[in-house]
Amino acid sequence: MTTILETERLLLRNWEDTDRELFAYLLGDPAVTRYLLPCRKPAEVQARFDRMREQIGETGYGFCALEHKATGRSIGWCGLYETCLEPCLPAGTVEVGWRLHRDHWGQGYAAEAARACLRDGFTTRELDEIVAFTVVTNHRSRAVMEQIGMRRDPAGDFEHPRVPEARPDLKSHVLYRLSREEWHAHLGSR
């Protein structure tokens, strides 16, 4: 097992074959993907799993499996991810993102894991800035962004270029940002 980060209740680790079912659930479950484009084609799901595992193996970061330490069960993902959504988010932008199994919402796991990712990003990886973005109406995810100290940048809001016209409900995104300076000034000692 490759542990990337550890928090009070969670391990952030690379994916294992036993996580394939959870990964497929996170990509396809209607509640989890209410504000996301679902992916339910088995071959595509497996290819994305393999790519994510390979990327974490090579770089030491990516959307990592969240293992609940007390039970040993994997409950979702969280991590830093290099994203490029030209012209909205230029190459080199690093986002923090999360998805949890529906059974584990409402217990602060996403914020706990994301805080560890911010610390890793601003200390070990010395990133200048980390962003997060979501569909305007995804209030749970926006609440996590606010809980971890990110601030909304209305000037950065964008229409997601990869969302098809058939899903106008998923087009409009809000952007949240956190700089290394802000993190050190307000959050780094917590």
In the bound state with ligand COA, the residue whose beta carbon lies nearer, of 136 and 179, is 136
In the bound state with ligand COA, the residue whose beta carbon lies nearer, of 13 and 142, is 142
| Contact with ligand COA (CB under 6 A) among 41, 51, 69, 140 | 140
List the interface residues with ligand COA, window 152-171 (CB under 6 A): none
Stretch that binds ligand COA, among 38-46, 116-124, 137-145, 180-188 (CB under 6 A): 137-145
Number of neighbours of residue 83 by Cβ within 10 angstroms: 16
| Contact with ligand COA (CB under 6 A) among 35, 129, 157, 179 | 35
Stretch that binds ligand COA, among 8-16, 41-49, 93-101, 118-126 (CB under 6 A): 93-101
In the bound state with ligand COA, the residue whose beta carbon lies nearer, of 37 and 184, is 37
CA–CA separation, 78 and 121 (whole Å): 13
Q: Which residues bind ligand COA (CB under 6 A)?
A: 32, 35-36, 97-100, 105-111, 134, 138-141, 143-144, 147
